Structure 1
Amino acid sequence: MAAAAACRRPPRRREERVVTSLDTTPRQVPALGAPTLAERVARVPTPIWVAYGLTAACLLLLGLSTSNGFDPDRLLRILSNAAPLGVVAIAQTLVIINRGLDLSVGPVMNTAAILTASLSAASGASLATTLPVVILVGAGIGLVNGVMLAFTRIPPLLGTLAMATVVQGVNALVTRGQPRGVVPGELRQLADGRVLGLPFSASLLVWLGLLVVVGLVLTTTVAGRQFKAVGANPRAAWLSGVPVRSHTLTAYVASGALAAVAGVLLIAYSGSPSLTAGDSYALNSVVAAVIGGASLAGGHGGMTGTFAGVAVLAFLTTVLNSYNIPSPVQLVVNGVVLILMLLVNSRLAERKGRR
């Protein structure tokens, strides 16, 4: 036993391996400060570049097709006239980001216009008392849409289309086919008057103000980031503790309220209520949102792109009107633009997925 113990080999010590790097190239340490201008530009989604490129093309076409196409005063007036579309496009973008669609915004605009004229005809009425009622009615219609789509499996396309039919029927029954009322002078001033003598109306400021506020909420708040997360992947957002149904309700309530504001701006421009004046805005708001980079699959979109989409439609419509193109043909053009932008956005999404 002693001899065996003496012959026993001592335990091997583990060799410590020291790994040395042969790469002596200095590595760039990332900056801890705010991102540079180039980095911020690189982060801008590609669809927004496409939207503003299309805006520049339409602006160039407008300038070449008319004698005073590049006149700043005229361009500001064109954007002022597009304020109703701009406001309802904000509403549509919110719903599309939430993976929805709202085809009832056009009839809601008609309802808001009819209700504004009817309430303004009453004695002692003022905008301070009329506008809150109109906006609440629009938000109420949006709430019905939200409850229907958040707590059932009805597709947004069919659900909001059915609501649009209901609202149109109610408008026809209440007005008996002949809307009546008065458009107050201060409301007309909202559309026709100039601000500080500049060639744009207060309605343009309303549109831009809403654009900035909604854009800041979406990009700088936790609720805004959760809102986009719900649209991108509702199940993953729900598993993360995000109240998916609450965000869906918020999207459609905001859509109804904003559509009502757009209806008020519409009657300020037209000067009289109508049963059909807002019908075309449902399609045009979808076109503007899609041109601006909003994905119908949800989760993508923003107010910067939506502004470009509205500008494209405004300038393109002015060009078509300058050539006396009929309204049906203009609808065809808008539809073709929508199809092309859907194809472009889908192709860009495929490329991003491959990376």
Structure 2
Amino acid sequence: MSTTTASGSRTDPRSQSPSGSVAETLRRVPAQLWVAYGLVLACLLLLAVSSEGGLTLPRLLRILSNAAPLGVVAIAQTIVIVNRGIDLSVGPVMNTAAILTALLSASPGARPLTTTVLVVLAGGGIGLLTGLLLAFTKIPPLLGTLATATVIQGVYSLATRGQPRGSVPDGLRDLADGRVLGSPASASLLVWLGLLVAVGAVLARTVAGQRFYAVGANPRAARLSGVPVRAHTVAAYCASGALAAVAGILLVAYSGSPSLTAADPYTLNSVVAAVIGGAALAGGTGSMTGTFAGVAVLALLTTVLNSFSVPSPVQLVVNGAVLVAMLLLNSRLTRSRRR
């Protein structure tokens, strides 16, 4: 079926819609997202030439599987950043989750599913307390969550006397060691991707999710529009605590034993992953698609640096430099888009 334009010429919509819709979709993709996936491509190319094995699909799946704990906690961090916050307590919450998982698993009659539910609830409870603190006071999120992190570290250090005990059952170890249909992908990778899709759908497709962006972009305007700003702040940190607990479970599944410090680097790395993916620390911007790219960049970059035998302290410097560069770039892209 053809249509007639104002000039009298006849056009076939079947010949216009596909290309037009694709072009329109590409124009709507934020510049930050193009940059993020450009970095992913650059890391893939570096990985392909940095080792004798090159880049293969099994190797890529193994790298992403190992990055699952970071992927999950990066989702948590992105939710909070979108809501104009930051959560510096995600690392201690992960450590707490790992300690609780090992402790509860060692009790008689313990079941992995029950243990997982209890640990996730505990993480959500910590996030709830943090959210209430920030929602009903004027404490900045940076200082509030730093204080929360310090308290959490003190509590589990006292409770364990510096020596966490317990064991990780085979049912949980399968998250890290179990392979899906004989592929190099682990079950933890599916957990990460499943949470990524679910949270992404909530943020992008629901009214509640869009309100998180509204609160992050302009809390005062959101409040005047009838959005319950405090409730969304509490919900953001509650979700962050629960997801950080899931990440802690995945981490202890890999390591096989709890630790007081194993998750400490994940606090900074989760922020770096979110920022690489286009999340603005000023709030109101961020997506799960971008966060996936940010995690992939960190995972691939770490693999490349390890292949060149770069020391861990230097890797920290590289991650910090990437964070600063992406903050500057995202700030410039945001200003140019508003003009």
Sort the TM-score into its range (normalised by shorter chain): over 0.9
The one-letter code matched in structure 2 to 1:278 is A
Alignment of 1:226-265 (within 5 A): 226-265=211-250
Match of 1:84?
A: 69
Match of 1:268?
A: 253
- Residues 238 and 176 of structure 1, relative CA distance in 2, 3 Å threshold: same
- What is the total number of aligned residue pairs between the two structures? 330
Q: Which runs of 5+ in 1 are unaligned?
A: 1-23
How does the TM-score come out when normalised to structure 1? Answer: 0.90
Alpha-carbon separation, structure 2, partners of 1:328 and 1:256: 28
What RMSD, in angstroms, separates the aligned Cα atoms of the two structures?
1.7
> Which SS does the other structure have where 1:273 is aligned?
coil
Match of 1:292?
A: 277
Percent identity over paired residues? 72
What is the deviation of 1:128? 1.6
Residue 159 (structure 1) aligned with residue 141 (structure 2):
no
Alpha-carbon separation, structure 2, partners of 1:83 and 1:121: 24
How does the TM-score come out when normalised to structure 2? Answer: 0.94
Alpha-carbon separation, structure 1, partners of 2:245 and 2:53: 34
Which stretch shows the higher mean deviation, 151-160 or 345-354? 345-354
Q: Once the two structures are superposed, what CA deviation does each residue of 1:18-39 show, in whole Å capped at 9, x if it has no partner?
A: xxxxxx867999x9x8971221
Alpha-carbon separation, structure 2, partners of 1:90 and 1:142: 14
Alpha-carbon separation, structure 2, partners of 1:342 and 1:256: 25
The one-letter code matched in structure 2 to 1:227 is F
What is the deviation of 1:232? 0.4
Alpha-carbon separation, structure 2, partners of 1:266 and 1:315: 18
The one-letter code matched in structure 2 to 1:78 is I
Alignment of 1:135-284 (within 5 A): 135-284=120-269
Match of 1:16?
A: none
What is the deviation of 1:337? 0.2
- Residues 282 and 27 of structure 1, relative CA distance in 2, 3 Å threshold: farther
Alpha-carbon separation, structure 1, partners of 2:268 and 2:244: 13
> Which SS does the other structure have where 1:123 is aligned?
coil
- Residues 121 and 37 of structure 1, relative CA distance in 2, 3 Å threshold: same
Partner residue of 1:52 out of 16, 37, 46: 37
Match of 2:323?
A: 338
Q: Once the two structures are superposed, what CA deviation does each residue of 1:134-168 show, in whole Å capped at 9, x if it has no partner?
A: 00110011011100111111000000000000000
What is the deviation of 1:70? 1.1
Q: Which runs of 5+ in 2 are unaligned?
A: 1-5
Alpha-carbon separation, structure 2, partners of 1:145 and 1:259: 13
What is the deviation of 1:68? 1.8
Residue 110 (structure 1) aligned with residue 103 (structure 2):
no
Match of 1:96?
A: 81
Alpha-carbon separation, structure 1, partners of 2:31 and 2:9: 30
The one-letter code matched in structure 2 to 1:230 is V
> Which SS does the other structure have where 1:109 is aligned?
helix
What is the deviation of 1:66? 0.8
Alpha-carbon separation, structure 2, partners of 1:240 and 1:68: 56
> Which SS does the other structure have where 2:257 is aligned?
coil
- Residues 28 and 190 of structure 1, relative CA distance in 2, 3 Å threshold: farther
> Which SS does the other structure have where 1:154 is aligned?
coil
Alpha-carbon separation, structure 2, partners of 1:86 and 1:201: 13
Match of 1:74?
A: 59
- Residues 27 and 41 of structure 1, relative CA distance in 2, 3 Å threshold: farther
The one-letter code matched in structure 2 to 1:322 is S
Alpha-carbon separation, structure 1, partners of 2:8 and 2:304: 56
Q: Once the two structures are superposed, what CA deviation does each residue of 1:1-55 show, in whole Å capped at 9, x if it has no partner?
A: xxxxxxxxxxxxxxxxxxxxxxx867999x9x89712211111111000000001
The one-letter code matched in structure 1 to 2:92 is P
Q: Once the two structures are superposed, what CA deviation does each residue of 1:56-86 show, in whole Å capped at 9, x if it has no partner?
A: 0011111110122311100000000000000
Which stretch shows the higher mean deviation, 209-218 or 185-194? 185-194
The one-letter code matched in structure 1 to 2:94 is M
Q: Once the two structures are superposed, what CA deviation does each residue of 1:243-281 show, in whole Å capped at 9, x if it has no partner?
A: 111110110000000000000000001111000000000
